[in-house]
Amino acid sequence: MTGTRWIRSRPFDYPYDGNLDPKVTALLVIDLQVDFLSSDGYFARKGYDPAPLRAILPTVNALIDTARAAGCLILHTRQGYRADMADMTPYERWRRKRAGLEGTEVLLRSSPGFEIVPEIAVHANDVIIDKTANGAFTHTDLDHVLRARGITHLLFSGCTTDVCVSTTMREAADRNYQCLLIEDACASGDQYAHDAAVHMVTVEDGIYGVVSRAADVIAGLRALDVSSAKS
């Protein structure tokens, strides 16, 4: 349709109304932290290989650069607890001990592992949301920040696809944000879990949103410059 601006995706192109607008769109970069991507952080201690997570970094950087140039908001999340663990419930303390993390600084906001990996460039105009739960809307001001900025459309990247990315996307869909999962800009230590999480987005004709690949997202965002130049 003439005049439409969208990103190629499945089960339908994004956004549904063909009005891709960077002013109301944010790229979410979920939990690309040292503790998840390093060889001695939380993820590795749980027996998972962080290599698939590290493999997406060039793709995520390309998306960040393109989305930033298009005028989208870039928003990063970090998962971890207060240094004094005052925000940790007894169940969470039990899980921490069970994971062999008692007495360590893993996933504490006072530790170097809490920081975003240096390969990801965080600019001064980016927004960072710190969270304790898998979902970035739980116990945070994420929803307030997005609505204050007039954001209605969200593009999802980061780790892990099946846990924090998927949970945040479901929370966003329930709040009526228009969601797109960038399947090759997300990763998990469990390929089956990654594939299942991607598939679940598309069931019931896109119950949580749509799925796209980074190249198609980049092409859609770059096309906005062409459209603007012609208008």
Q: How many CA within 13 A on the CB side of residue 112?
A: 4
179 is catalytic: no
Residues 6+ apart with CB under 8 A from 76: 28, 29, 32, 116, 120, 122, 126, 127, 128, 129
Catalytic hit among 31, 162, 184, 216: 31
Q: How many CA within 13 A on the CB side of residue 78?
A: 24
CB 32 within 8 A of CB 120: yes
Edge-first strand listing for the sheet containing 127-131: 127-131, 73-79, 25-30, 153-159, 178-187, 210-212
Catalytic hit among 72, 164, 179, 186: 164
Say which DSSP state 208 is in: S
Catalytic hit among 35, 72, 131, 216: 131
Cis peptide before 11 (omega within 30 of 0): yes
CB 32 within 8 A of CB 57: yes
184 is catalytic: no
- Taking the alpha carbons at both ends of the chain, their separation in whole angstroms is 16
230 is catalytic: no
Q: Which of 23, 25, 29 is nearest to 128 (CA)?
A: 29
Q: What H or E segment, with its residue span, contains residue 128? A: strand 127-131
List residues with catalytic annotation. Answer: 31, 131, 164
